Amino acid sequence: MLDVFRSLIRIFEPMKAIVLYGAEHYNQITRDDMKNKSNYILGFLCFVLLFMSCEKIEPERYDKEANGAYFDYDYAADFDRMLNFADYIVGNPDTVTVALKVKLLGYLKEEGRTLAVKTRTVEGCELADVAIDEVVFANNEYEKVVEVKVCRPKVEDVLYAVCIYLDGSGDIGTGIKGKDELNLYVTEAYEQPIVWYSHVSTCLGEWDRAKHIFLAQHTGDNHFYSRLYDEELGLHLYDSIIALNVSAVNALLAHEPADSIAIDLPILRESDYPDYTEPYFWGNYESLLGMYRAGKFCRFVLMMGGSDTRDVATLFASETARQKMEEEAGNFHKDDVLYMLNEYYAYAGTGYPIAEYKDLCWVEMKSDVNYTVRIPYWWEDPHGLGTADIVKRYFGEYEDDKYQFMLKTIMKEDGTENFVAASLLPFIYDKMTGTYAWDNSPLGTRQLAGEARLKECYRLIKAANDRRPASRRFDIPEIEL
């Protein structure tokens, strides 16, 4: 009968409804097992409830005088553990705490009791440096987490180890044979993550220990590489890889380093749209390269054959790079102007007054340069606010050459140092009404605003156009001001 009751105890033990504290490893009962034994359980249920009401349940297979402790784990792997400090890069901790679960056998006791947890060497390995505080089980406490402080290995790529065991010399003896000791192996060994190929190696370069440590510290994630691959889809996460490259490159090139940069992260192509911030050395070449833009930075690096964070500053300082800058300065300037015009198109729909455009984005234009231009926002009027009709009444249909002629005409009047391209069409988006209004910013040499500025620009442009040979004149309407 006792064996039968013990079998019933094992069935109920996962629910902790009967047995309140530890016992030796038991096999987990499956749904099928429970179903097969359901009739048996029901038959003894009343007996069990009556038994529980009058007597405490003893731990499985141990008599009530048992007084022992054991490591509360079920699988062999739990008794041979590996701790790799390469998984603990962030913060560069000197120690890592390993938590070990311990349980007691026998009845709970009212008084506190000490448990002796000791260490010894593991054959074939250097002894790992660990520290374990005194373990005390308080009144009626039957399970506890023992904290083992493990020191970082003195030498990388060397395997250290320590056997942690319960020797029974304290108030609590040993409990279950085979669960009274475990081995902890400790090392600091860096290995290339399995996801480091294809897009990862293209965007982050070849793997090495220094780069691995830098990226972990930079992201604050010991396993940063896990964000670069989708296990379910079996695909690299390209956007995440690009984002990691950009943030890491920005961090490395933000300030001039005291020592040369040792990490070689590739500078990506412009087509990858990397949002690099201005590197610390760009200002030295701004007279030739113009305003900083991430795309321009990538393009110039590619022109020079490509580079990485370790060598890019040296590349820019080379005589070959300077010659290339001088050759391409005109093209870069034209690109900057087109970029500015595109930005002005975007600003128009935001409600920014034209007086602020120069602070937001401005490139000094040259009256003797033929630029690539684009239709202004108010001339195109993409949202049908009514400005296109006004602009066409003054200047007719849009043409690139016509608009370039208009810009040059007003540029000569205002002077290149003060000229803002958007000032030819002085409208502003009114957020309150959802339509356009006249921009009251004082613009040009005469500091005119709104409709007065538009009329002044028309007068100057019409007069300049009329002075051109008839064959080269643009179609600009004749209107009374």
Q: Please write down the HEC assignment for all residues of 83-112.
A: EEHHHCCCCCCCEEEEEEEEEECCCCCCCC
Q: Are 347 and 307 in contact (CB under 8 A)?
A: no
Answer whether residue 351 is part of any domain. no
Considering only CA atoms, which of 103, 15, 24, 29 is closest in space to residue 62? 24
Joined tokens for residue 266: 């590739």
Least confident of 86-100, 117-131, 171-185: 171-185
DSSP state of 78: G
Give CA–CA dist 27/423, Å, rounded. Answer: 82
What's the pLDDT tens digit per position in 42-67? Answer: 334 334 333 333 333 333 444 445 67
Least confident of 275-279, 425-429, 441-445: 441-445
Burial class (CB in 10 A: 0-12, 13-18, 19+), 1: exposed
Domain that holds residue 390: 363-472
Give CA–CA dist 440/454, Å, rounded. Answer: 12
Mean pLDDT of 325-333: 96
What is the predicted pLDDT for the residue at 89?
97
Q: How many domains does the chain have?
A: 4
Indicate if 207 and 313 belong to the same structural domain: yes
Indicate if 459 and 388 belong to the same structural domain: yes
Indicate if 124 and 147 belong to the same structural domain: yes
Indicate if 183 and 203 belong to the same structural domain: no
Indicate if 454 and 374 belong to the same structural domain: yes
What's the pLDDT tens digit per position in 237-250? Answer: 999 999 999 999 99
Length of the chain: 481
Q: What percent of the chain has pLDDT over 70?
A: 86
Indicate if 154 and 218 belong to the same structural domain: no
Joined tokens for residue 220: 């604050």
Indicate if 49 and 157 belong to the same structural domain: no
Answer whether residue 327 is part of any domain. no
Indicate if 150 and 239 belong to the same structural domain: no
Last residue of a domain, one of 149, 164, 187: 187
Answer whether residue 325 is part of any domain. no
Indicate if 133 and 175 belong to the same structural domain: yes
What is the predicted pLDDT for the residue at 37?
37
Answer whether residue 36 is part of any domain. yes
Give CA–CA dist 333/152, Å, rounded. Answer: 55
Indicate if 149 and 215 belong to the same structural domain: no
Last residue of a domain, one of 163, 187, 211: 187
Answer whether residue 286 is part of any domain. yes
Last residue of a domain, one of 187, 209, 233: 187
Indicate if 371 and 302 belong to the same structural domain: no
Considering only CA atoms, which of 6, 30, 26 is closest in space to residue 18? 6
CATH number for the domain including 80? 2.60.40.2030
CA distances (Å), origin 349, targets 344, 428, 434, 454: 9, 8, 10, 19
Indicate if 378 and 439 belong to the same structural domain: yes
